[in-house]
């Protein structure tokens, strides 16, 4: 076995070579170790491995060489000490939140969360005696006022789904530190290239690798990154014994996805910026929210904490739900889907799909209206996408 060791690489290099371990065959591409378990030459060797006295793999629920390459490559990209890869983004979020709290603890979370994340915080955690408070994540006073003596965790995503609200991660991290709580950041919408929550003071970062990291609509996956101590003390046993592990096949696909992540995110962000500019001038569009435009409500925070814009745009079609539906139905290249970060451009009507479980009042609080759509910009030529949008808006009108 030979391993690539990090030599102060820039992200694009790490994403091609980072974490690679080669078998004695010296294969060029990462090997796919599609195996459940591992064999030992002697009973003594098995004993030593179980005691942790000898390195090596035991069982793929714990760790697997292909999954290990994916975890190490993600650590390099994120600047994290350690990571655990999971079967989906929700497995990552729920493990990160549940592994370190117990009945009687208190969790504060921003109310603008991916639908399933909000279900974990609002419904699941209280069932196990964990108190939770939802706050307006953009209002620092609300974070401050929500703190109780038993507050153990803060949780947020930024930019948020679907209205691309931005939360000041460094400011929330310092409130968490004063409260003796850990801040978990769901960094899916920003991607690991545009925002580094650990550098901003967050303690734990989670991803749905299903989105930009795969980026080609194939596999579900997730990853949790943090310092080694937090993972050893909180996640290690939880992960081994509850089994949210990533399949080696999916880890292999995600490794190949990481190789092209910088190229895809750069191109998709560039196209999204152009399309957002076009929509902002279009008479059939009421409101455009795009991190990267000067008229974004938190443009100053974006300039401080993000390296680039977003591959997603949120906008409102004049005329409400009826016009929004006509617009979606008239699109040709851009397909209706709840996914995002894909090479294919995808559009969603959040109020009736991803956020349908929220009460109307909660949706209105988050700015998710009948007229609101979320566009995930893909790798198609931006001119073709603009033409598709213009034609569909004209048909809808």
Residues binding ligand PLP (CB under 6 A):
88-90, 93, 114, 117, 157, 161, 186, 188-189, 208, 210-211, 220, 222
Say how far residue 230 (Cα) sits from the centre of its chain.
20
Report the half-sphere exposure of 282 (CA within 13 A, side-chain side). Answer: 24
Minimal distance in Å, beta carbon 382 to ligand PLP? 23
Beta-carbon count within 10 A of 247 CB: 18
Nearer to ligand PLP, 88 or 234 (CB): 88
* Rounded Cα gap, residues 219 and 89, in angstroms: 11
Minimal distance in Å, beta carbon 88 to ligand PLP? 3
SS3 at position 46: helix
Minimal distance in Å, beta carbon 185 to ligand PLP? 10
Nearer to ligand PLP, 248 or 350 (CB): 350
Residue closest to ligand PLP, measured at CB: 89
Minimal distance in Å, beta carbon 308 to ligand PLP? 18
Nearer to ligand PLP, 89 or 370 (CB): 89
Buried b (16+ CB within 10 A) or exposed e, 6-22: eeeeebeebbbbbbbbe
Strand partners, 285: 317
Nearer to ligand PLP, 234 or 311 (CB): 311
SS3 at position 396: helix
248-280 vs 382-396: helix crossing angle, rounded to 10: 60
Nearer to ligand PLP, 135 or 340 (CB): 340
Nearer to ligand PLP, 248 or 341 (CB): 341
**DSSP letter string over 252-315?**
HHHHHHHHHHHHHHHHHHHHHHHHHHHHHT-TTEEEEE-BTBTTSTTHHHHHHH-SS--SEEEE
Minimal distance in Å, beta carbon 186 to ligand PLP? 5
Minimal distance in Å, beta carbon 97 to ligand PLP? 12
Secondary structure E strands in 19-97: 21-22, 82-86
Minimal distance in Å, beta carbon 117 to ligand PLP? 6
Nearer to ligand PLP, 181 or 220 (CB): 220
């Amino acid at each position: 076995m030979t391993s690539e060791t990090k030599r102060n690489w820039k992200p694009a290099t790490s994403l091609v070579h980072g974490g690679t371990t080669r078998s004695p065959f010296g294969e060029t591409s990462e090997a796919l170790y599609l195996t459940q378990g591992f064999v030992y030459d002697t009973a003594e060797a098995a004993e030593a491995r179980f005691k942790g006295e000898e390195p090596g793999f035991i069982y793929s629920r714990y760790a697997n060489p292909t999954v290990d390459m994916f975890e190490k490559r993600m650590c390099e990209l994120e600047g994290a000490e350690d990571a655990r890869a999971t079967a989906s983004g929700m497995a990552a979020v729920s493990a990160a939140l549940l592994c370190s709290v117990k009945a009687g603890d208190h969790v504060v979370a921003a109310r603008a969360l991916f639908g399933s994340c909000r279900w974990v915080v609002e419904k699941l955690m209280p069932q196990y005696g964990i108190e939770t408070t939802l706050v307006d994540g953009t209002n620092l006073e609300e974070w401050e006022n929500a703190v109780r003596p038993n507050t153990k965790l803060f949780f947020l995503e930024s930019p948020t789904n679907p209205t691309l609200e931005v939360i000041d991660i460094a400011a929330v991290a310092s409130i968490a530190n004063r409260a003796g709580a850990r801040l978990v950041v769901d960094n899916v919408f920003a991607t690991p290239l545009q925002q580094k929550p650990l550098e901003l003071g967050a303690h734990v970062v989670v991803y749905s690798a299903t989105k930009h990291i795969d980026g080609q609509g194939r596999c579900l996956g997730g990853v949790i990154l943090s310092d080694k101590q937090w993972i050893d003390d909180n996640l290690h046993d939880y992960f081994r014994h509850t089994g949210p592990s990533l399949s080696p096949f999916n880890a292999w696909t995600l490794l190949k996805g990481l190789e092209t992540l910088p190229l895809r995110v750069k191109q998709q962000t560039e196209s999204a910026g152009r399309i957002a500019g076009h929509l902002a001038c279009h008479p059939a569009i009421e409101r455009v929210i795009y991190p990267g435009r000067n008229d974004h409500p938190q443009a100053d925070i974006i300039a401080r904490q993000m390296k680039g814009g977003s591959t997603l745009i949120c906008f409102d079609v004049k005329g409400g739900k009826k016009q929004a539906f006509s617009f979606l139905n008239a699109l040709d290249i851009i397909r209706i889907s709840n996914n995002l970060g894909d090479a294919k451009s995808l559009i969603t009507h959040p109020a009736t799909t991803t956020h349908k479980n929220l009460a109307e009042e909660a949706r209105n609080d988050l700015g998710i209206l009948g007229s609101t759509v979320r566009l995930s910009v893909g790798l198609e030529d931006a001119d073709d996408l603009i033409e598709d949008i213009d034609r569909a808006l004209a048909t809808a009108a």
